[in-house]
């Protein structure tokens, strides 16, 4: 079984899916099945769960228990550098975690302490499959080597925070990827992540923070979902 974990915008374009649920020791997970792929809309379909309140451990444990062999995560982000500008899509290759969440399956209390390596948190083969499907869908370019910084949210950042993140090497900002990347790596589920920018981050847009129009986000979301499902077939 393969899986997609998706977020803002994509939860609106999922269409017909079978609704299922599974009980894990971290809680119940509701998920969708489309063809032979499991889809977890991380904020639920009505976008009602804040990033800090998502049950990341239950979601990842559910994927493990369902026998997941590969997972693509899709992330709406704000642009910090022009390496990924609003409206474009890129593959994430590294991340910074500035959240207050310190999630692990291996804390030394409920399970033996384990220090999972994070040198290569993203699966090269899966990234290549994603890029191939992206080009097959008629796109000319996919940005690579993007660095993601995760904040706690749900508030957006201050301009000073964004300047600091840029100085630290971040290209885009979001609120969910690092939590999923860490847990998926801990349970050894091959993982690739694509980000789609929906705004310039705080302080980089004269008008404050303004988001792309819903129709544009939906168009990108449709494409990302289709490409992800295709990439996972390989």
Check residue 80 and report its DSSP letter.
Answer: S
User: Which lies closer to ligand HPA via its Cβ, residue 121 or residue 174?
Assistant: 174
Name which position in 10, 39, 54, 76 contacts ligand HPA (CB under 6 A): 76
- List all residues 6 or more positions away from 92 whose beta carbon is below 8 Å from its beta carbon: 75, 122, 146, 147, 148, 172, 177, 193, 194, 195
**Which residue in 63, 68, 77, 195 binds ligand HPA (CB under 6 A)?**
77
What is the total count of residues that contact ligand HPA (CB under 6 A)? 12
Residue 10 is a binding residue for ligand HPA (CB under 6 A)? no
Footprint of ligand HPA on 142-161 (CB under 6 A): 151, 156-157
Q: Report the alpha-carbon distance of residue 182 to residue 185 in Å, rounded.
A: 5
The answer to whether the CB of 17 falls within 8 A of the CB of 52 is no
63 scored as a contact of ligand HPA (CB under 6 A) = no
**CA 40 to chain centroid:** 11
Per-residue binding letters, 99-118, with ligand HPA (x by CB under 6 A):
--------------------
**Four-point Cα dihedral 133, 39, 48, 181, nearest 10:** -70
User: How many beta carbons lie within 10 A of that of residue 48, not counting itself?
Assistant: 9
Residues 161 to 190 in contact with ligand HPA, rule: CB under 6 A: 173-175
Which residue's CB is nearer to ligand HPA, number 185 or number 199? 199
Residue numbers at the binding site for ligand HPA (CB under 6 A) = 76-78, 151, 156-157, 173-175, 198-199, 201
């Amino acid at each position: 079984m393969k899986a997609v974990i998706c977020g803002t915008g994509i939860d609106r374009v999922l269409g017909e899916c079978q609704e299922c649920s599974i009980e894990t020791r971290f809680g119940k997970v509701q998920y969708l099945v489309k063809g032979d792929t499991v889809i977890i809309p991380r904020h639920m379909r009505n976008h009602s769960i804040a990033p800090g309140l998502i049950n990341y451990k239950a979601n990842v444990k559910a994927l493990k228990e369902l026998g997941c062999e590969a997972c693509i995560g899709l992330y709406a982000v704000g642009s910090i550098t022009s390496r990924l500008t609003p409206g474009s899509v890129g593959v994430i290759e590294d991340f910074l975690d500035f959240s207050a969440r310190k999630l692990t399956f291996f804390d030394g209390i409920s399970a033996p302490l384990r220090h999972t390596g994070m040198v290569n948190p993203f699966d090269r083969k899966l990234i290549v499959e994603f890029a191939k499907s992206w080009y097959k869908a008629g796109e000319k370019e996919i940005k690579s080597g993007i660095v993601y910084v995760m904040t706690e949210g749900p508030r957006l950042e201050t301009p000073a925070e964004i300047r600091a993140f840029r100085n630290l090497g971040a290209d885009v900002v979001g609120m969910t990827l690092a939590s999923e990347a860490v847990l998926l790596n801990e349970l050894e589920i091959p993982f690739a992540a694509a980000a789609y920018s929906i705004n310039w981050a705080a302080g980089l847009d004269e008008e404050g923070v303004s988001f792309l129009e819903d129709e544009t986000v939906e168009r990108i979301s449709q494409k990302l979902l289709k490409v992800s499902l295709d990439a996972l077939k390989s």
